[in-house]
Amino acid sequence: MEMNIIVSGVGGQGILSIAFVLDNAAVKEGFRFKQSEVHGMSQRGGAVQCHLRFSKEEIYSDLIPEGAADLVLSVEPLEALRYVHYLKPGGGVISSASPFPNIPDYPDPETLHGRIAALPKHVLVDAERLAKAAGSVKAQNMVMLGAACRDLPFTREACLEFVERLFARKGEQAVETNRRAFTFGERLSAFYRAALEAGTDPAPLLRFCRRIDPESVDPDSAPLWKEALARRPELAAAEPSPSPVPATAEAARRALEGEVS
């Protein structure tokens, strides 16, 4: 078995911390790995990307050929789009929807989201919002790691073990914050995927996901929310919600009855 992942973002977003967790989780579960990384002139805000290759067999190169990546995992939407040409048929993108405008002519974020959503296989998660909900805006990388965990060839438990090891020296609060960020990313990714599978349009879905309470998410409720969003498009309003919405079947039924605004 082999898996090739490109992890991307900008300097300061913790791309190499994601690589640390993935590499160690892979080794723990019997995989070999190779890693190659590029730093944007070693500057905060410059482009950063890693090629991660995992296999049960010998790996002969640390670089992923174009057209051979299973996954692009990105903490920044523009950086995700830089590497889609590396994807193999059936490969996917899991990206933060939260922009990091680091160039003067940074594109409109909704345009970026639309281009990612047009890909055959994608997930978009508002990592900045979820990281803040977990306790630290710096935890966006762990949000995205959680969002990708179901696509990995090793267990979430192995990933969480090395999340804990990575942040242990910073104290229990840092460990708990990053565990929560991982879990929030995992939950919202599962809901987003289930909603897409139910046929929900990605644009209102992403807006609605920005209203969801990350503590209360049931992916099985996604078909009900598809119906609620179709009947009541104001549920996916662009303006921030004054209060989070639990993404549960009960809340979806209330929304259909007009009780959720």
Q: How many CB atoms lie within 10 A of CB 172?
A: 10
Domain membership of residue 252 as a residue range = 198-261
Q: How many CB atoms lie within 10 A of CB 42?
A: 8
- Contact criterion met (CB below 8 Å) for 13 and 39: no
The DSSP code for 241 is P
Q: How many CB atoms lie within 10 A of CB 117?
A: 18
pLDDT > 90? residue 45: no
For residue 223, give the nearest of 241, 205, 245, 203 by alpha carbon.
Answer: 205
pLDDT of 12 reads 86
Q: Are residues 54 and 181 in the same domain?
A: yes
Q: Specify the pTM.
A: 0.94
Q: Are residues 178 and 215 in the same domain?
A: no
pLDDT > 90? residue 109: yes
Find the distance separating the first CA and the last CA of the chain, reported in whole Å. Answer: 47
Q: What is the mean pLDDT of residues 101-116?
A: 94
Q: How many helices and strands (H and E) does the chain possess?
A: 10, 8
Q: Are residues 224 and 106 in the same domain?
A: no
Query: Which DSSP string do the residues of 160-194 spell out, in sequence order?
Result: HHHHHHHHGGG-HHHHHHHHHHHHHHHHHHHHHHH
Read off the pLDDT band of 217 (50, 70, 90): very high
- Where among 141, 160, 189 does a domain terminate? 189
3-state secondary structure of 218: coil
The mean pLDDT of the chain is 93
3-state secondary structure of 69: strand
- Contact criterion met (CB below 8 Å) for 95 and 122: yes
Q: Using a CB cutoff of 8 Å and minimum separation of 24, what contacts does 237-240 make?
A: 237/207, 238/207, 240/210, 240/211
pLDDT > 50? residue 42: no
User: Quick one: how far is CA 50 from the chain centroid?
Assistant: 16
- Contact criterion met (CB below 8 Å) for 80 and 13: no
User: Quick one: how far is CA 213 from the chain centroid?
Assistant: 17
- Contact criterion met (CB below 8 Å) for 195 and 222: yes
Q: Are residues 128 and 210 in the same domain?
A: no
Q: Are residues 206 and 133 in the same domain?
A: no
For residue 189, give the nearest of 206, 203, 177 by alpha carbon.
Answer: 206
Give residue-wise pLDDT tens across range 110-140.
999 999 999 999 999 999 999 999 999 999 9
CATH number at residue 23: 3.40.920.10
- Contact criterion met (CB below 8 Å) for 96 and 74: yes
Q: Which two tokens stand for residue 154?
A: 């090793």
- Where among 189, 216, 245 does a domain terminate? 189
Q: Are residues 33 and 109 in the same domain?
A: yes
pLDDT of 37 reads 77
Q: Are residues 246 and 131 in the same domain?
A: no
pLDDT > 90? residue 1: no
Q: How many domains does the chain have?
A: 2
